[in-house]
């Protein structure tokens, strides 16, 4: 019978054990900040700005924890000056308001509003790359502090 021993990972395991909940929250919130900036840029790039209230309202929601993991959702918070929910506005702009328009007739301006322009969902990969980069940088910074 073969026996296998590995001793090199004990030091790294100890370092990871030192990463407490505040460090995990810091990494997640760094990614959330990057996501906020990217979503605000997308709202501006797709010209979804009339008053700028929805764009300014993009923020992370409440931080959640579960068994050593953490997550936070980022979306437009609150309501605008007319009382319209900013998250609902972003959802409708992204997904549209109804079923797909009839393709047998020419597209009208009203038909464009029905399907949405997918400004959030079509840029998911770009947003994920930005979030991952920010989280990796924060993680590297925290691990280098542990090594000092």
* More reliable by pLDDT, 38 or 104: 38
User: Rounded CA gap, 125 and 130, in Å?
Assistant: 9
pLDDT in tens, 51-65: 999 999 999 999 998
Establish if 5 belongs to a structural domain.
no
Residue 134: closest CA among 26, 62, 57: 26
Establish if 1 belongs to a structural domain.
no
* β-bridge partners, 85: 79
User: Rounded CA gap, 86 and 50, in Å?
Assistant: 13
pLDDT, mean of residues 1-6:
50
Secondary structure (3-state) at 83: coil
pLDDT in tens, 115-139: 678 888 889 999 999 999 999 999 9
Establish if 14 belongs to a structural domain.
no
Percent of the chain with pLDDT over 90: 53
Residue 110: closest CA among 118, 98, 122, 94: 98
Residue 28: closest CA among 135, 146, 127: 135
**Total domain count for the chain?**
1
Establish if 15 belongs to a structural domain.
no
Establish if 3 belongs to a structural domain.
no
Establish if 58 belongs to a structural domain.
yes
Establish if 95 belongs to a structural domain.
yes
* More reliable by pLDDT, 20 or 25: 25
Q: What token pair was written down for 27?
A: 């990494």
Given a cut of 60, whether residue 45 has pLDDT beyond it is: yes
pLDDT, mean of residues 100-109:
57
Residue 58 contacts residue 37 (beta carbons within 8 Å)? no
Q: Could you tell me the CA-to-CA distances from 141 to 9, 14, 64, 138 in Å, in that order?
A: 20, 17, 22, 5
User: Rounded CA gap, 23 and 31, in Å?
Assistant: 13
User: What's the domain range around 40?
Assistant: 20-147
Residue 95 CA from chain centroid, whole number: 17
Query: Looking at beta carbons, which pairs linking 114-118 to residues 24 or more positions away fall under 8 Å?
Result: 116/92, 117/46, 117/93, 118/94
* pLDDT recorded at residue 7: 55
Establish if 39 belongs to a structural domain.
yes
Q: What token pair was written down for 58?
A: 């993009």
* pLDDT recorded at residue 54: 96
* pLDDT recorded at residue 58: 97
pTM assigned to the model: 0.77
């Amino acid at each position: 019978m073969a026996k296998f021993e590995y001793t090199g990972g004990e030091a790294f395991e100890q370092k990871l054990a030192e990463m407490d909940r505040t460090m995990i929250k810091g990494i997640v919130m760094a990614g959330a900040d990057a996501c906020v900036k990217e979503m605000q840029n997308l709202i501006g790039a797709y010209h979804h700005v009339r008053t700028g209230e929805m764009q300014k309202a993009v923020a992370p929601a409440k931080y959640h924890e579960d068994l050593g993991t953490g997550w936070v959702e980022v979306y437009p918070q609150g309501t605008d000056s007319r009382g319209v929910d900013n998250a609902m506005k972003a959802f409708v702009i992204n997904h549209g308001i109804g079923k797909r328009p009839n393709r047998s007739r020419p597209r009208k301006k009203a038909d464009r509003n029905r399907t949405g322009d997918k400004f959030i969902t079509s840029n998911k990969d770009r947003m994920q790359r930005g979030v991952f980069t920010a989280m990796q940088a924060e993680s590297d910074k925290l691990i280098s502090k542990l090594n000092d």
